[in-house]
A = this chain, B = another copy of it.
């Protein structure tokens, strides 16, 4: 599974978590644990799809514009990772005499495409808001365990 998808979700949730909903690629990269160039490349894609606003120049960065409750993981998957589920590895050989060897690749491709649709269907029920809520639930849990320790 494509890590760009994970980075994008993390970045967007991070932005959503900030009061100003804004951060530079350096701040995001630091929080995510990757390189700022990678973040910029991914955020570029999200900007083209209208999820974030970009401001170049000093004091610039990325600002979350999307409605957290409206954007689902399926949207992000489609923007950044569509097709990544289908393996590049091909089995068999279309030019072969054997029916199995010559057609297995097409058959498997169909199965994987359909599997990916199911995956997207599952992702379409998870919004960025849901993810942020899960993070907040962790926060409460952490606070509880700290209280117990004291």
Contact = CB atoms under 8 A, between A and B. Distances in A.
Contacts of A106: 138
Given A87-B3, A138-B107, A14 B100 contact: yes
A64 interface: no
Given A7-B91, A107-B131, A99 B17 contact: yes
B100 A1 contact: no
- Summarize A's interface: helix, strand, loop or mixed: helix
Contact of A107 (B1, B7, B34, B135): B135
A146 to B, nearest CB: 13
Given A103-B138, A110-B134, A6 B115 contact: no
Nearest to A134: B107
A99 B10 CA distance: 12
Copies of this chain, count: 2
Contact of A2 (B32, B87, B101, B107): B87
Contact of A92 (B10, B91, B110, B122): B10
A111 B128 CA distance: 12
A103 B2 contact: no
A72 to B, nearest CB: 12
